[in-house]
């Protein structure tokens, strides 16, 4: 088929790659001048299937209230009224139960574990390099309360067959020697030895180049206005360079996906949650992280990317605001200096912000839409890099009508639909294996 992919972030590019490998004629359209110029540009750098978990969890509402009074708060909510924000937050609150958390985490881990396997194969097939390391993720706890609360996550990991290690302070220092000076601030850790790290921007640009060599057409600097529908099919996409027709369309525009979908009568519960990062050059390798350390208190990831340290995190619910806040920068600097003091040159820190496309249950929307030839690959939140290869492969299999290698029905749009009230025609997803 002739297929148009809307969006050239890591999700759009992996979708294009696997669709082209399946034999389709693929065109990617994006308003940016190159691939991975927005949310995929400077994320935290962690590929953490075992750490995949929804933000909606038991106890989060009370934690959110406490965070409001913290100097280095992991969550900031802009008080400006916004109906989309209010609806999304209410839906998220509805998922803050033990039962919902277990279901949501289970399917997120399933997709993320599959994605890691797909990335391993892709790396072997292409020889792509992106400052990758396969040395695990350490979730670092500063209090005994955090250690005790990890039990629920451990249960899910055990049920999913995900390898893990519960570490005491000495164990944390053994895998991350750079933490030695911060030993008195550590209560323990949960290590996921199969997790990886890597530069999402380098990966996406490298894969885009390989996709182009495979025959994928990239149309950068082209704005997307609307999808045009006749009956139960999309006939074309209107762009700044005219109409583009295709047999099928893939919506992979991250936080900007809901606008195009809304014009078609589809309500995608995806909201932009702003995150920040700094990138600093390593000046003392002995003090620097080996892989990724998740600071559970500040919800910040500190990752080694070659000769750089990437520090990313926080959640600011403020719509499409992309302004940079010095206060958020200070929080990132505080976290890395508190744990890995002197490892990086903060005077050379580059500061960045991006919008994470979050669903209220944490799980992305991958699969068919109620419109026959429109497919969705969006809503990955903080885990777009972790889930990218698997989401692209899964999407390509669904578009191609092939049986998927993992269960996919609960990852699609149908989980948000109310069939009795829906005015849109429905197609059953391709059978999963």
Tell me the binding residues. Answer: 3-17
- Other beta carbons within 10 angstroms of residue 357's beta carbon come to 27
* Two tokens, residue 36: 């991975």
Distance from the first to the final alpha carbon of the chain: 23
Beta bridge partners of 245: 236
CB-based contacts of 348, cutoff 8 Å, min separation 6: 280, 281
| Total residue length of the chain | 433
Reduced to 3 states, what is the DSSP secondary structure of residue 178? helix
Whole-number Å distance between alpha carbons of 336 and 288: 9
- What residues form the annotated binding site for FAD? 3-17
Q: CB–CB of 136/193 below 8 Å?
A: yes
Q: CB–CB of 332/298 below 8 Å?
A: no
Whole-number Å distance between alpha carbons of 382 and 344: 24
CB-based contacts of 176, cutoff 8 Å, min separation 6: 138, 289, 290, 291, 293
How far is CA 43 from its chain centroid? 9
Backbone angles phi, psi at 230, to 5 degrees: -130, 115
Q: Which of 166, 192, 211, 232 is nearest to 35 (CA)?
A: 211
Whole-number Å distance between alpha carbons of 175 and 294: 13
Q: Which of 77, 60, 22 is nearest to 362 (CA)?
A: 60
Whole-number Å distance between alpha carbons of 407 and 107: 9
Between CA 94 and CA 98, with CA 96 as vertex, the angle to 5 degrees is 120
* Two tokens, residue 111: 């997709």
Q: CB–CB of 40/9 below 8 Å?
A: yes
Whole-number Å distance between alpha carbons of 168 and 100: 30
CB-based contacts of 325, cutoff 8 Å, min separation 6: 276, 316
């Amino acid at each position: 088929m002739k297929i148009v992919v809307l969006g050239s972030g890591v999700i759009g590019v992996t979708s294009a790659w696997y669709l082209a490998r399946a034999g389709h004629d693929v065109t990617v359209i994006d308003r940016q001048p190159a691939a991975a110029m927005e949310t995929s540009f400077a994320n935290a750098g962690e590929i953490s299937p075992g750490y995949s978990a929804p933000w909606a969890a038991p106890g989060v509402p009370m934690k959110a209230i406490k965070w409001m009074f913290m100097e280095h708060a992991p969550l900031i909510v802009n008080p400006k009224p916004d109906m989309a924000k209010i609806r999304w937050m209410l839906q998220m609150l509805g998922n803050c139960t033990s039962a919902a958390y277990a279901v949501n985490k289970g399917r997120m881990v399933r997709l993320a574990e599959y994605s890691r396997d797909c990335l391993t194969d892709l790396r072997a097939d292409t020889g792509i390099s992106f400052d990758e390391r396969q040395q695990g993720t350490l979730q670092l706890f500063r209090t005994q309360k955090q250690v005790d609360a990890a039990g629920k996550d451990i249960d899910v990991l055990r049920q999913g067959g995900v390898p893990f290690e519960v570490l005491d302070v000495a164990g944390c220092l053994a895998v991350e020697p750079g933490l030695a000076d911060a030993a008195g601030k550590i209560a323990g850790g949960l290590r996921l030895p199969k997790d990886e790290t890597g530069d999402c921007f380098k990966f996406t640009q490298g894969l885009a180049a390989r996709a182009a060599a495979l025959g994928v057409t990239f149309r950068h600097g082209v704005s997307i206005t609307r999808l045009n529908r006749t009956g139960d099919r999309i006939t074309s996409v209107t762009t700044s360079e005219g109409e583009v027709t295709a047999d099928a369309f893939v919506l992979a525009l991250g936080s900007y996906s809901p606008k195009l979908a809304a014009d078609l009568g589809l309500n995608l519960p995806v909201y932009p949650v702003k995150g920040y990062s700094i990138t600093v050059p390593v000046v003392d390798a002995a003090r620097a992280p080996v892989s990724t350390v998740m600071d559970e208190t500040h919800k910040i990831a500190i990752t080694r990317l070659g000769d750089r340290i990437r520090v990313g995190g926080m959640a600011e619910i403020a719509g499409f605001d992309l302004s940079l806040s010095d206060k958020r920068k200070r929080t990132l600097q505080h976290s890395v200096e508190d744990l890995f003091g002197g490892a990086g040159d903060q005077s050379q820190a580059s500061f960045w912000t991006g919008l994470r496309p979050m669903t209220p249950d944490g799980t992305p929307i991958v699969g068919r839409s109620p419109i026959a030839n429109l497919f969705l690959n969006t809503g990955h939140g903080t885990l777009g890099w972790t889930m990218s290869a698997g989401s692209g492969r899964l999407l390509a299999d669904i578009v191609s009508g092939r049986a998927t290698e993992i269960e996919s029905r609960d990852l699609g749009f149908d989980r948000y639909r109310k069939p009795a009230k829906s005015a849109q025609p429905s197609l059953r997803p391709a059978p999963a294996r």
